Amino acid sequence: MFTSEIDPELELTTLIFQWLSERGYSQTLERLEAESAITYNPELVQFGSQLESVYNEHKHIQMSMKLAEEEVEDMTDAELNELGDSRFPQHLLDTLDKVHTSNILCMRFSPFDDSHIVVTGSTDKTIKVTNYLTKEVLYTFIGVSDAPMISLDFNPVNPELLLASSVDGSCSILRVPKDGVNCECIETYRQHKKYVVRARWSPDGQSFATCSYDKSIAHYKKDDQGKYSLVKVWDFPNTIESLIYTPDSKYIVAGVRESNYLHYLNVDDFTITRYNMNINGDDHVSFSAMEFSVTDKYLLVSTDRNRLILFKLHSDKQMRNFYGASNDQYTTTRNKIDPSGKYVYSTSQDHYLFVWEIATQKVVAKLDHHKLSVRDLDFSPNRDLLASCGFDKKVCLWSISKE
């Protein structure tokens, strides 16, 4: 389409320039040049009418999807058409801005039902356990790692166990009791040679997995002595950005850089099943998977191309697409599915939190308070609060109600 490789923002703007030029909208073209600070260069585009070609291809894909849905109508997906009731966390309730002295990269609510604890990891190399009502730091993990902490995840079965991964290639199991006071580091694993960008428990609590910039995924399983031992390492040709277990704990879904596939790793026989994210089935890497959230039926995928896709689990079937947030290959994006199943959340490079209604695929809210990059999201156990954290050293608490 283009005579040379250019960034996606310039690609889209150039196609609009060409369309305006071909239709004689010279004043509009000049206005767009002024507002975008980009000068139209017609030599960048190889052929004419490229925007119209993209549109026609889009309509063809839409028609193909409609015919496919008519051939195999699945009434169990009718829930995706149910409109939300606007009851989702969208009002800023409070902020914690004195917990860390440096960027906050990860956070999780304690999963105990009546807990008011939030745990945060930072580039200051500490993990803080904080009561978000009183804003008192109850415990500080020091020395778990000699580098910034990247990800946190509580065990869904044993709510005291917390996974914490680090830039130094390590992953640790920590104990955070209900009162948040007498915490301890139980064990540290050093399988990886580079950043451990994600560490996640399986839904049954019997396993956990880690992925790293050393291009590998490690799977650990609870043994007869109650310890978690390494059982399998998968190696990939490119960097791993994220992973998540399927709800039955039988597969790990991996997001691999420079790959247009979703990789499902079977934790029993260690085989890998791949699903092409390109709707037309070709092998061109239009985008890669960067982050996941999952329900019992769907997989939400954040890509490195300003787009989130809701897939049917264990398939390449695209159920919904969400546009609007600004994320690219340099962004460490995060997403969440609202507990109601009616909304999805995503971080954005412009420091907003975007909220879409699943049924309509429309942006219904942009949460605005962070001043720098947002790095993590989590819902409270009672599902009434959403928390976000980021490079502005803040934890923001978002509530359903204004009070």
pLDDT in tens, 300-325: 999 998 899 999 999 999 999 999 88
Q: Which of 57-66, 102-111, 182-191, 361-370 has the lowest mean pLDDT?
A: 57-66
pLDDT at 206 over 70: yes
Q: Determine the straight-line distance between the first and last CA of the chain, rounded to whole angstroms.
A: 52
Whole-angstrom distance, CA of residue 76 vs CA of residue 68? 16
Task: Report the predicted TM-score, pTM, of the whole model to 2 decimal places.
Answer: 0.86
Query: β-pairing, 251-256 with 240-245?
Result: antiparallel
Q: Which of 112-116, 171-175, 216-220, 295-299 has the lowest mean pLDDT?
A: 112-116
More confident residue, 68 or 265: 265
Cβ count near 280 (within 10 Å): 11
| CATH number of this structure's domain 84-399 | 2.130.10.10
- Residue 178 clears pLDDT 90, i.e. is over it: yes
